[in-house]
Every structure is written in C-alpha cells, then in structure tokens.
C-alpha cells in the first residue's frame, strides 16, 4: 500500500512539473507562431532551386569559355 502512495505522489509531482514547464513556454511565446513552420516548408524548395542554379552557373560559364577558346 505504501508503494501506491509513493507512485501517486511521483505522478502528481511529474504532472505539476510538466504543467509549470508548459506555462513558462506559453508565457515566453513559444506557441505563438503556428503558421510559419508550415509555410517555411513550402519555401525550402525555392531556396534549394536557387542553390542548384548557382552551382550550374559556373559549369555553364566554363562551357562558354571552352567554346570561345575553340573559336
């Protein structure tokens, strides 16, 4: 029976700790911005495309330089 009281005290204490952490997070504004992570996912592909284009540009310039050298 003593272990039951110990388990109840531990579980209530843990619940109170999680509640306090949640309240601190809510006061600091951690849960304010719900939309930008979802929108940021949509813009990642555009950033990746820009990086890919930057990588391709030097290759294109090298090919153009080779064409000029051949002429």
Say what the pLDDT of residue 71 is: 54
Position 42 scores a pLDDT of 72
Per the structure, the complete domain to which residue 6 belongs is given by 1-28
For residue 71, being part of any structural domain is answered with no
Residue 51 lies in a domain: no
Q: Is residue 45 part of a domain?
A: no
Structure tokens that stand for 48 in this block: 């990746």
Looking at residue 61, what is its pLDDT? 58
Residue 31: the pLDDT is 81
Q: Is residue 41 part of a domain?
A: no
Report yes or no on 21 lying in a domain. yes
In a domain, residue 57? The reply is: no
Query: What pLDDT was estimated at residue 30?
Result: 85
pLDDT of the residue at 67: 58
Q: What share of the chain is helix, strand, coil (3-state, %, to 5)?
A: 85, 0, 15
Q: Please give the structure tokens belonging to residue 70.
A: 């051949």
Q: Does 10 map to a domain?
A: yes
Block mean pLDDT (10 aa), the chain, length 71: 95 98 93 74 66 64 58 54
Q: pTM of the full predicted structure?
A: 0.48
């Amino acid at each position: 029976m003593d272990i039951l009281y110990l388990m109840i005290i531990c579980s209530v204490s843990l619940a109170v700790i999680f509640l306090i952490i949640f309240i601190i997070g809510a006061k600091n504004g951690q849960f304010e911005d719900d939309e930008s992570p979802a929108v940021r996912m949509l813009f990642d592909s555009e950033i990746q495309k820009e990086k890919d284009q930057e990588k391709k540009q030097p290759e294109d310039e090298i090919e153009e330089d080779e064409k000029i050298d051949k002429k």
